[in-house]
Amino acid sequence: MSFAKIALEEHVDVPKSINGWQYVAQQGSVQGEKRPYTPAPVDGLLALMDANGIEMSVLSLTQAAVECIPVKELSVRVARDSNDYIAEQVAKNPKRLQAWATLPMLDPEAASLELVRCVKELGFKGTMVKGFCQVGAGDQVAYYDQPEYDEFWATVASLDVPFYLHPRYPMPHGIQSIAGHSWFRGSVWGFGVETATHTLRLMASGIFDRYPKLTVILGHLGETLPNAVWRIDHRLAKEKQQLPAQKKFAEYLRNNFYLTTSGNFCTHTLQDTIAEVGADRILFSVDYPYESVEQAAKWFDSCEISEANRLKIGRSNAEKLLKMSTAASA
């Protein structure tokens, strides 16, 4: 392989001294749940990139942090401070690192303003949001198909940057079928179910009709949606469901979404995803530090796809989507 890859779902730490992170550490990503801390140093990522043919990574925060802060003022402050810190890391090595903005989605207006700041002042490539946000002290949550987020989506569309919808743990009451089976709650199953359902809500809401150039990125080769979307459309039509959406969900998936390989290094799944959405809509990613950079790179560099598609997925799609002017080879 004669080109260097670009990776889009690579997570890093911020110092625990940043305002509000003590709250995040105490609460966990979901109220009542504590998770082991997984170190994700920037220097560690750079070394792994060097060793595995990755020229550039787009950085984001490690876990659903700001999204789990149910206090607007605090979430706004933590988002801004975290973005400033990541911007400092990118500035040290801008040829190797770029960034996604962290946004205080509990406050749609503040989220819009912070996205504008990050894109126009800090040079970020868009935003990565870790699923729904928590509201108040209970278990109430907000999803982004709700009407109060429409102006936020208008801002995303006007900036012409991607919105990366990343998984987070469902709330403890969220998926009753796995209650008592905690091993299914995270990346094994619950992440995909939660994120795919959120995505379907966005599709159904009509935002891609109101903002037809809006672009959303999903990880893990689409959170199973490429395999499920035909039947979803089939049953919606057969049952004569009346939705705000004006098109079939498969059309949105092929025209408004990009899917990354993060954490899903299965050749057959990649081939099926290419068949469903096309190679122009797929991007290489790892999911550092939760997945092995070496495993992801070795798999992708040798998996059974055409060399033309390998170049698109590994590099040129990202260059186009993120408006990058990088070298053609490494």
Name the catalytic one among 145, 280, 287, 301: 287
Q: Would you state the structure tokens that stand for residue 176, as one six-digit string?
A: 């009753």
Q: Report the alpha-carbon distance of residue 14 to residue 9 in Å, rounded.
A: 16
Which helix (H) or strand (E) covers residue 282, if one does?
strand 282-283
Residue with tokens 């179910």: 193
What CA–CA distance (Å, rounded) separates 259 from 154? 22
Token pair of 62 as six digits: 């490690």
Look-up of token digits 């070496």: 294
Distance CA 69, CA 123 (A): 26
Q: Report which of 171, 247, 259 is spatially closest to residue 202, judged by C-alpha positions.
A: 247
| Distances, alpha carbon 329 to alpha carbons 319, 322, 323, in Å | 12, 17, 17
Beta strands in the chain (DSSP E): 5-12, 54-61, 97-99, 127-129, 133-135, 140-142, 163-165, 216-218, 257-260, 282-283
Counts for the chain of helices (H) and strands (E), in that order? 13, 10
Q: Give the Cα separation of 323 and 330 in Å (integer).
A: 19
Catalytic: 107? Answer: no
How many Cα atoms are found within 13 Å in the side-chain-facing hemisphere of 149? Answer: 21
Catalytic residue annotation: 287
